[in-house]
Structure 1
Amino acid sequence: MTALAAIIAARIRATGPMTLADYMELCLLHPQHGYYTARDPFGLRGDFTTAPEIHQMFGELCGLALAQAWIDQNRPAPFTLAEPGPGRGTLMADMLRAMGKVPGMTDAAQVTLIEVSPVLRQVQRDRLGPVAHLSGVDDLPERPLFLIANEFFDALPIRQYQRIDKGWAERMVGLSDAGLCLGLGPVVPLPRDGRPGDVVEECPAAPAIVEAIARRIAAHGGAAIIVDYGGWNGYGDTFQALRGHRPEDPLVHPGEADLTAHVDFAPLAAAAIRAGAVASRPVPQGDWLLSLGAAQRAERLAAGGDAGAGAALRRLTHPDEMGHLFKAMAVWPRGATPVPGFDALRLHADHA
């Protein structure tokens, strides 16, 4: 039993079963034993590899998409260039290198990283130099905001509900003789259709975060690009753990494995529209990157001696790799030119 497992078990004995959201928050962010607070989990030596760690072209294309949005909005200065959950700073470093080709952009950018892990904050400073660190999006300044969020929302705590004969019952983390286990709590009112056995997930924090981002974009200008794996109003149990690049039971090693769930983009788009901004429909990551010129960029890199560019392109864009599982969504102000590669979602604010 891990140190955090013992803490969680003691809490359950004292106060009863906990929601999956509470369990995830403890596992990921516990001050001493949380997965993100105590380690650098990225790359081959960690537990998972994100798109920016696969190849530089991902960050370059994201940076150029935001750069075009900045140009289309008459180059506001100064502006906040932000990233929540920036990992090692790889994505931001690649974006800044690409943005450096756009006259005046990096001079106007005030790089701001939203990070709670002391370990990762130091890694990011080592990579990027002096940057502003914030603990949440509510702390972002009131100025034009250009933001990228890659594999950030999948790590936010979720709640799960399972359909039984009497309605939807919340799935809870409790204790058995064998250790931590999942069970069902009381029936709760949930405005979703379903058949017995169906599971649905909600991420309480995600819409509020998107609304805070979109409110700044609507008021001051800017754009946001969200990239993550997930879908639209989905059903099913997507709660998962990854340890040493291999999946495992999420209840086995609390604090020592990455916990994630698929992102539901529907409430994120609705939140952006409520805040007065425009949201795009989510598009497959592969289609979006190819529309930005990923194939041509890979060809140029390969011609310059980058032997891994072709394999990286396939991994990032092919439907059998990350190309379709991952989606991209953008947010921009009403009346502004859409962010490159995206079309506005036709969803009225009254129905958001």
Structure 2
Amino acid sequence: MSDLEAHLAARIRAGGPLRVSEFMAEALLNPTHGYYTTRDPLGAAGDFTTAPEISQMFGEMIGLCLAQSWLDQGRPERFALAELGPGRGTLMADILRATRAAPGFTEAATLHLVEASPPLRAAQRATLGEEVTWHDSIDTLPEDRALFLVANEFFDALPIRQFLRSGPGWRERLVGLEDESLRFGLGDLLAQPALHHRLADTQEGDLVEICPQAAPIMAAIGTRIEAHGGVGIVIDYGDWRSLGDTLQAMRAHEKVAPLEAPGTADLTAHVDFEALANATPSAHSRLTPQGVFLERLGITARAQALAKGLSGAALESHIAAHRRLTHPEEMGNLFKTLAVYPTDATPPPGFEA
């Protein structure tokens, strides 16, 4: 039994089974043994690869989207350019390179990264330099200026709670102990006011997930944008409404059991975009597949331009990266995009109201 497993077992023996959200928080962010606090999880040598690591084109398209939105909103003289969960800083570096095409954009921006992982903060510093303000949470982002924000694969890592439909009520899925090993179980049958609206579209035995942290974060983003201008772009895997068990663990690019060796695998769950959209006081776009969003922004033309200087294995890798980002059978449909923007503004490029 690992140190984190022993810690979790002791906590369960002392206080009873844990909610899935409590288990996820410990597995991902335990100060001593948590997954994100002890390693850089990205890339071929890590456990998973995100879109910015696949190709520079992903960040370039988002950068152009942000720059055009800045122009459309009258070129605010001062704004916060922010990213939630910025990985190694690759996406932000690509955004900054692409937005140089919009004179005045980078000069008006102050750079803000919300990152809880010390190893990843170090990687971001190496990529982006020292002209960055790091934040432990969204609460300390500037509130006196426009906010242009990106959250790519951020919300999927927030801890979730899971509930199993049982008649007119719900039983919460819990993590307990069986023969000194972590096991899933179910709590007592209770009414769940937060899930009352789901009684109409679920049936006996259906599992529904909620993410308690997601709505307050989205509300804070939308409040800033509605008050001062800007745009928030959320990119993640999920759909309009949660249904079914989507909790998964990834280690060395392979799926493993979520309770197996906690702290050594990434834990994620599909994002409920309906909950995000309902949380913001600002306007929000239609939910758009990632592939459609990138194609609207011109990623194929950019791919063709970059391909002219490539041949052999480099060209094959480039073509594969474009396909992986946009094809419906790859990330193109699995990942969705949602934009929030002021109610008196137009949707950002690539989105529809």
- TM, length-normalised to structure 1: 0.95
SS at match of 1:343: coil
- Aligned mates of 2:114, 2:15 — CA distance in 1: 32
Q: Which residue is 1:248 aligned to?
A: 256
- In 2, are the aligned partners of 1:166 and 1:187 still within 8 Å (CA)? no
Alignment of 1:126-141 (within 5 A): 126-130=126-130, 131-141=132-142
- Aligned mates of 2:113, 2:102 — CA distance in 1: 21
Q: 1:297 aligns with which of 302, 307, 311?
A: 302
Q: Which runs of 5+ in 1 are unaligned?
A: 345-352
SS at match of 1:287: helix
Q: How many residues align?
A: 341
- Aligned mates of 2:216, 2:301 — CA distance in 1: 38
- Aligned mates of 2:114, 2:264 — CA distance in 1: 22
- Counterpart of 2:46 in structure 1: which amino acid? G
- Aligned mates of 1:166, 1:180 — CA distance in 2: 29
- In 2, are the aligned partners of 1:299 and 1:309 still within 8 Å (CA)? no
- Aligned mates of 1:215, 1:221 — CA distance in 2: 10
Residues 126-168 of structure 1: CA deviation (Å, up to 9, x unaligned): 1100111011111111110000000000000000001124621
- Aligned mates of 2:99, 2:265 — CA distance in 1: 34
Residues 199-221 of structure 1: CA deviation (Å, up to 9, x unaligned): 00000000100100110000000
- Counterpart of 1:164 in structure 2: which amino acid? S
What's the RMSD between the two structures over aligned residues?
Answer: 1.0
- In 1, are the aligned partners of 2:249 and 2:256 still within 8 Å (CA)? yes
Q: Which residue is 2:169 aligned to?
A: 167
Greater shift, 10-19 or 301-310, is seen at: 301-310
Following TM superposition, by how much is the alpha carbon of 1:334 offset from its aligned partner in structure 2, in angstroms? 1.1
SS at match of 1:37: helix
Alignment of 1:246-325 (within 5 A): 246-272=254-280, 275=281, 277-305=282-310, 307=315, 308-325=317-334
- In 1, are the aligned partners of 2:9 and 2:180 still within 8 Å (CA)? no
Residues 32-58 of structure 1: CA deviation (Å, up to 9, x unaligned): 101001100000000000000000000
SS at match of 1:112: strand
Q: Which residue is 1:342 aligned to?
A: 351
- TM, length-normalised to structure 2: 0.95
- Aligned mates of 1:102, 1:206 — CA distance in 2: 32
Q: Are positions 1:333 and 2:334 aligned together?
A: no
- Aligned mates of 1:70, 1:21 — CA distance in 2: 37
- Counterpart of 1:121 in structure 2: which amino acid? R
- Counterpart of 1:135 in structure 2: which amino acid? D
- Counterpart of 1:301 in structure 2: which amino acid? L
SS at match of 2:37: coil
- Counterpart of 1:341 in structure 2: which amino acid? G
Alignment of 1:1-352 (within 5 A): 1-130=1-130, 131-142=132-143, 143-165=145-167, 167-177=169-179, 179-190=181-192, 191=196, 192-193=198-199, 194-272=202-280, 275=281, 277-305=282-310, 307=315, 308-344=317-353
If each structure's helix is expressed as a fraction of its own residues, which one has the higher value?
2
- Aligned mates of 1:58, 1:282 — CA distance in 2: 18
Q: Which runs of 5+ in 2 are unaligned?
A: none
State the percentage of identical aligned residues.
57
- In 2, are the aligned partners of 1:162 and 1:197 still within 8 Å (CA)? yes
SS at match of 1:323: helix
Greater shift, 203-212 or 176-185, is seen at: 176-185
